[in-house]
Amino acid sequence: MADVLTELPPVAKSVHTFCKKCDIDRYHKVLAHTNETTAKIECEVCHSKKTFKLPKAKKLTSTGKPRAARAPSASQRKSNHQSEYNSLVDSLAAMEEKPYSLKAKFEIANKINHPKFGIGVVRSVQPDKIEVVFSDEVKLLIHNRQ
């Protein structure tokens, strides 16, 4: 088996490679270098021209280390979210729902009733925003507007 080339041969030298027209390995003469990894070559028997490319460096095989855990799929995230929502609503079942308003001020673990998203529980509070867990997703809402 021939040695694997790591650099292009000089112009006017021969390279032993497969000729598609002859359908066999033949010597090809290097006509010109087109860039660092490719050259124009010509078969010495049938005179067909083609582009010769250096083989790409092989990637290292796996080191046997285990892969990092996959991120949860959409269905897993949805079930995790649904279970979080259910546990929050159940733990605050006795609490009365506050109607959502931009001007109202909310605190963590307040149960709110939004006209579009329904019942939700405040997960975190910033001075002008709240993160609310609703049945279908978590929303970032504005509050405490003057």
Domains and CATH numbers, the chain: 14-53 (2.20.25), 76-142 (no CATH)
CB 141 within 8 Å of CB 126: no
Band of the pLDDT at 29, cuts 50, 70, 90? very high
pTM of the model: 0.48
Sign of torsion, CA 99 102 104 105?
positive
50: left (phi over 0), alpha (psi -120 to 50) or beta: beta
Band of the pLDDT at 93, cuts 50, 70, 90? confident
Strands laid side by side in the 118-125 sheet: 98-99, 111-114, 118-125, 129-134, 138-142
